Amino acid sequence: MLLHDASEARPDGWLGALRAVLPQADITVWQAGLPSDCEVALVWNPPQQLFDEQPQLRLIFNLGAGVDQLLALRLPPHAKVLRLQDAGMAVQMAEYVCHALIRWYRELDRYGAQQAQGQWLRHPLQPRADFTVGLLGLGVLGQRVARAVQAFEFPLAGWSRTPRQLDGMRCFAGAAGLDAFLATTRMLVCLLPLTPQTRGLLNHERLSRLPRGSYLINIARGALVVEDALRALLDSGHIAGAALDVMAEEPLPAGHWMWTHPRVVLTPHISGMTRRDAAAAQVAQALQAHAAGAPLPGQVDLARGY
């Protein structure tokens, strides 16, 4: 088994988690030019060189939910790609969304500004019925976010590529349903994978479909949103606020307008951080399924890109 994680200088954490559930596994940390006969690789943001040197790979585990960067590389032709389906990320994303939701709904920034000015002022609650939370993407992560939002009794809407029916939610589907979904949404949560079809999906025209005074949360991929369009709509007040955990370019360059925009809250891609123990357990489960010839959990459809 080959291991590569570009985000960590030392692989000790991953090695410990994997050996706890796969004690018999022979795990090799990838090094450029190092010969290997491994057929299984666990990777995060790997270089093209890894796959050029390992044409024998048959299973490639992506140590995260999003696979767009991995699928942009030339992979061994017979390899199957698997992604983590949760690994502790879903509940973290639900926390992130609910934090932003309550912050905006209860106008906590407004009260924070009042505190700084020594003002004791109360403001009427916004009608909850007018604060529909719209989930753009209804996969494993989207459904976990939905359950968290439902606990606060906000109206829910959801959009997916193909029709779905989920309890407690008004569901929309396909290109024909996207405009109607956006028009009913007060707080839009982006949960879609990045594919050629979703890149730039939220352009000026589509973001303008949101009611004036709406909010945007992006915890998926930055390139889903056309950032210049978002800036224009934030400047005009059509979009009242944005919580952005992902950007088109990461790390965000110094001097970028998002750093200082008064309506933007930034975080450095931390809304759903992979838990190694949960990820290792998923890898072990998938390897068992592979050995038994059973369907592989989390297998990526290479044609669809997720």
The radius of gyration of the chain's CA atoms, rounded to the nearest angstrom, is 21
Share of the chain residues as helix, strand and coil, in percent rounded to the nearest 5 = 35, 15, 50
Residue of 83, 186, 221, 290 marked catalytic: 221
Q: Give Cβ neighbours of residue 278 (< 8 Å, ≥ 6 apart).
A: 86, 87, 88
Nearest to 242 by CA among 194, 192, 207, 205: 207
Torsion of CA 3, 7, 13, 19, to 10 degrees: -20
CB 88 within 8 A of CB 274: yes
Cβ atoms within 10 Å of 283's Cβ, excluding its own? 25
Look up 221 and say whether it is catalytic.
yes
Active site residue 269: yes
CB count within 10 Å of CB 228 equals 11
How far is residue 282's CA from residue 88's CA, in Å, rounded to a whole number? 11
Single out the catalytic residue among 99, 161, 199, 269. Answer: 269
DSSP-derived 3-state class of residue 67: coil
Question: How would you label 119-158 residue by residue, b for 16+ Cβ within 10 Å and e otherwise?
Answer: eeeeeeeeeeeebbbbbbbbbbbbbbbbebbeeeebbbbb
Contact 234, 211 (CB under 8 A): no
Residues tagged active-site:
221, 269
